[in-house]
Amino acid sequence: MRRSRLLAMIGVPVFGLLFGAAALAVVSPGESPPPPEGAQPRTLTVPGFKSCGPVRSPACVGIWVNMDFYAQLTHDASVRYPEDLGLAECPPPSPDPGFAPGQEVPDEVLDSAPTCAVHPRYAVTELLMVPDSAKSFIATYGCGGTSGNVCQRRDLP
Amino acid sequence: MMNRGRTGPNSRATAATLVICGLMLAVWVAAAPSALAHYGDHTVGVMKVNSPGGYGTQFKIEVLQTGIDNFDINSYVRARASLRDFQNLPWLETGWVDYGCGGNCGGEFPPTVYTLKQASTENWYPSYSLTLGNLYFFKVSEADTHVDSSAYIYYNGVWQLLTSMGSPQCPCFERAGTWINMFPIGDPSLHPALSGGIDFLQGKIKKSDNQWYQWNPTNFPESSFFYTNPYVHCFETAYYAFTVKKNTC
């Protein structure tokens, strides 16, 4: 009887250690499991319209606005303008092919300081709303229903 | 009939062993999704571990059509450089994102420049067109003044500030890589192939002296890497240059 209990007391931890090691080996051979990446993006909100989410679904409708319009609606001070940042506004971008594979870029090019800040009108986000609010938003502002009709700063009704 | 009040020591030991084994099996099942189930989040890349030390990171990242277009609208592939705060929580990232659109991409964007603040506020910059197969520099860093942090793209021959926010209180943790999020969750063989892989090149980390240093084991020995099946990374030079692929290098 005592021998059985002794075997159980020794066997369980040993078995546990072996089992744990095997489990770790299956999860990620040779390294730690990846750290969590964080939650799905939450949607920004606009007073008077009911948001939903956190993911897109038939129960949520996406409303497309640029951040300049969003700041106009909400007076959200976290939307920063080039003048707030002490930088010139970047000119509208012209198509840039980037760098071809194998093309090395000298360090001195990359060490240059930023010369401009992108205006919030070029930054688009999607506000997730319940269908009734989305319908009301589109009816009020006449925009935002598709990515091709992004709401922009305007004289508000 | 078993009398539970009179269970002997042998039975108790056996029962305890079974219970503990059961608990361990449950823990194992929870901790090993690739073995018994398959989840939607897959991340591959390089990161700083153990202790913070950097003030920003930059990479030259290849742009790919990822093959995710036919997946659910909540599926995406993000290739990014990211900055984590002193607690190793997401702070600011930038790169390109390709979203699924349920097989109806008519009104959707192609791979698009994006920024993401604290894993919550996402912005897209569709006026910055990206050439598939070519590479663009992205960086995130705390400002020299240690008041703000900013996300940048190197475009039209200059660094352009895409967005900024408060300070993450660096020294921080850096990370770069690809985040593939899949809906519906299921068979890994159906996951996007990422074509020939996404190249991450010329990786650097900024130190407290405001200088950028090559991200290699000598300069940053506290670095590591991570991946989730079925995706892998293939180092050309750790941690400075690598490719994110599916299945094998």
The pLDDT tens digits for B171-194 are: 999 999 999 998 777 778 888 889
ipTM: 0.81
B chain contacts of residue A55, beta-carbon cutoff 8 Å: 74
The angle, 0 to 180 degrees and rounded to 10, between the axes of the packed helices A2-27 and B9-31 is 0
CB-CB under 8 Å, B127 with A12: no
Share of chain A above pLDDT 70, in %: 73
State the pLDDT at residue B19.
56
Residue A16, classed as helix, strand or coil, is helix
| Yes or no, beta carbons of A124 and B125 under 8 Å apart | yes
- Tell me which amino acid residue B123 is: N
Given CB atoms, is A97 within the 8 Å cutoff of chain B?
yes
Q: Interior CA angle at A73 toward A71 and A78, to 5°?
A: 25
**Position A123 pLDDT exceeds 60:** yes
| pLDDT at residue B144, rounded to an integer | 73
- The model's pTM is 0.81
CA atoms within 13 Å, Cβ hemisphere of B33: 14
Which of B49, B123, B130 is facing A123, going by the closest CB pair? B123
Low-confidence spans in chain B with pLDDT less than 70: 1-38, 103-109
In angstroms, the CA B114 to CA B128 distance is: 10
Average pLDDT for residues A147-152, to the nearest whole number? 93
Q: How confident is the model at residue A26 (pLDDT cuts 50, 70, 90)?
A: very low
| pLDDT of B231 | 94
Q: Higher-confidence residue: B39 or A150?
A: A150
Summarised one tens digit per residue, pLDDT across range A9-23 is 545 444 444 444 333
CA–CA separation, B208 vs A143, rounded Å? 45
pLDDT band at residue A27 using 50, 70 and 90 as cut-offs: very low
- CATH code, B39-246: 2.60.120.1270
N- to C-terminal Cα separation, chain B: 60
φ, ψ dihedrals at A33, nearest 5°: -65, 155
Is residue A36 scored above 50 in pLDDT? no
End-to-end CA, chain A: 86
Cα distance between residue B204 and residue B108, in whole Å: 32
CA–CA separation, A24 and B34 (whole Å):
11
Residue A77: is it exposed, middle or buried by C-beta count within 10 angstroms (0-12/13-18/19+)? exposed
Average pLDDT of the residues in A129-155? 94
- Facing residues of B48 across strands? B223
Q: Which residues of A touch B109 (CB under 8 A)?
A: 147
- Reported confidence tier of residue A39, pLDDT bands at 50, 70, 90: very low
- Average the pLDDT over A120-131 and give the result: 95
**Nearest chain A CA: its distance from B131 CA (Å):** 5
